[in-house]
């Protein structure tokens, strides 16, 4: 449940409420907006029976939160969250663009791509060092060597860098080298890994599972936030449907749905959603028009030689063209492209 304080309620009144909640063994989370303060209560609400909270000084009203996710719920935190990531941020007003290869394949491939995407206006470099491949015989990633190249690219370009982790071991290694951790679709419900990400404190990009509902996805985010890590960005990357023309089906409605249910930023990945490079630009534009806070786009110096996801990767010149075409869409959505500021 949430307790909405009256506009201008005194600090003492808020303090009285949080003390009362904590004295019953529950946790109080404060969300201090420009107008009102909201106190979120997490724990067994029956312990507050007979507390007459609604009669306490400064309390406007008590609203039950029926959803199982609480701290990621917009009811707890009505204002949109901006997630600070290394030298940049993800949130309202800007359009974040995370671009780079599916997998880090070599130092040269990564550095070349880093400079190209930076020049085109991306503010993040993406690159997988631990690849969750469908076949165990497919390229599995360079692991720590790949992370070192990511760090080097970060230092050379000033881009924030993001890398997927698939295990606790990978998380511990990646936290030393990158600005943001990606939890991929296949691990969206790896609850132990989510809790570890929560405890690690590093910003997390949480992709939607291949067959996850939006409520399951928000509950996965709740696993991270409930461990104390509030720096979470959601990523819609397509879901499994009966359609076979595309790798997945991009659920663009996730953007307004998430906007209504949660305060967390949401970005869209049209590369994994479609699996086809020529479908990426129209859906990237549609995602921006739908209100996404950013995009994740796969870019490779030579897609036909890529060790993974070549068919969906943009060449440097295609990416450059897309970034130019995105500008009016970003402007209409009231955003500036973060890397072009």
Residue ranges in contact with ligand PEP by CB under 6 A = 102, 128, 132, 164, 184-186, 207, 237, 272
- Residues within window 278-337 making contact with Mn ion, judged by CB under 5 A: 309
Contacted by 179, from Mn ion, ligand PEP, none: CB < 5 to 8 Å by type = none
Half-sphere exposure of 15 (CA within 13 A, CB side): 3
Nearest distance from C-beta of residue 207 to ligand PEP, angstroms = 4
Q: How far is CA 20 from the centre of its chain?
A: 34
Q: Which residue is nearest to ligand PEP (CB)?
A: 184
The least distance separating ligand PEP from the CB of residue 238, rounded to whole angstroms, comes to 8
Return the number of the residue (3 or 250) whose C-beta is nearest ligand PEP.
250
Min separation Cβ 276 and ligand PEP, Å: 15
Nearer to Mn ion, 78 or 310 (CB): 310
User: Is the four-CA dihedral 289, 87, 128, 215 of positive or negative sign?
Assistant: negative
250 binds, among ligand PEP, Mn ion, none (CB under 5 to 8 A by kind): none
Minimum CB separation of residue 164 from ligand PEP in Å reads: 6
Q: What is the gyration radius of the CA atoms in the chain, in angstroms? A: 21
Can you state the angle between helices 214-225 and 191-200, rounded to 10 degrees?
Answer: 40
- The residue (of 74 and 186) whose beta carbon lies closer to ligand PEP is 186
Contact letters for Mn ion, residues 90-119 (x by CB under 5 A): ------------x-----------------
> 222 or 309: whose CB is closer to Mn ion?
309
Q: Rank residues 58 and 303 by Cβ distance to Mn ion and give the closer one.
A: 303
Contacts with Mn ion, residue ranges (CB under 5 A)? 102, 309
């Amino acid at each position: 449940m949430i307790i909405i304080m009256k506009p201008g309620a005194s600090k003492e009144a808020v303090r009285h409420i949080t003390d009362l909640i904590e004295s019953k063994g529950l946790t109080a989370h404060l969300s201090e907006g420009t107008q009102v303060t909201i106190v979120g209560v997490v724990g067994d609400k029956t312990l507050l029976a007979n507390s007459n909270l609604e009669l306490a000084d400064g309390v406007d009203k008590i609203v039950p939160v029926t959803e199982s996710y609480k701290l990621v719920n917009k009811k707890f935190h009505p204002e949109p969250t901006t997630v600070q990531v290394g030298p940049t941020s993800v949130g309202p007003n800007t359009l974040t663009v995370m671009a780079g290869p599916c997998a880090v394949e070599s130092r040269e491939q990564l550095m070349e791509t880093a400079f190209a995407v930076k020049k085109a206006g991306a503010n993040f470099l993406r690159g997988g060092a631990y690849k969750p491949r469908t076949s165990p015989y497919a390229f599995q990633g360079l692991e720590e060597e790949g992370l070192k190249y990511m760090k080097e690219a970060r230092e050379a370009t000033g881009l924030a860098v993001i890398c997927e982790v698939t295990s606790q071991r990978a998380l511990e290694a990646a936290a030393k080298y990158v600005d943001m951790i990606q939890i991929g679709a296949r691990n969206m419900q790896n609850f132990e890994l989510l809790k570890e990400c929560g405890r690690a404190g590093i910003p997390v990009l949480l992709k939607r599972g291949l067959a996850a509902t939006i409520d399951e996805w928000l509950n996965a985010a709740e696993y991270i936030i409930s461990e104390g890590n509030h720096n979470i960005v959601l990523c819609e990357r397509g879901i499994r449907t009966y359609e076979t023309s595309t790798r997945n089906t991009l659920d663009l409605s996730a953007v307004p749905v998430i906007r209504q249910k949660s305060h967390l930023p949401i970005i869209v990945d049209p590369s994994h959603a479609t699996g086809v490079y020529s479908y990426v630009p129209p859906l990237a534009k549609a995602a921006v028009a739908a209100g996404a806070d950013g995009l994740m786009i796969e870019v490779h110096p030579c897609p036909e030689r890529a060790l993974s996801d070549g068919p969906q990767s943009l060449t440097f010149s295609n990416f450059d063209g897309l970034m130019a075409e995105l500008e009016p869409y970003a402007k209409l959505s009231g955003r500036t492209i973060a890397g072009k500021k």
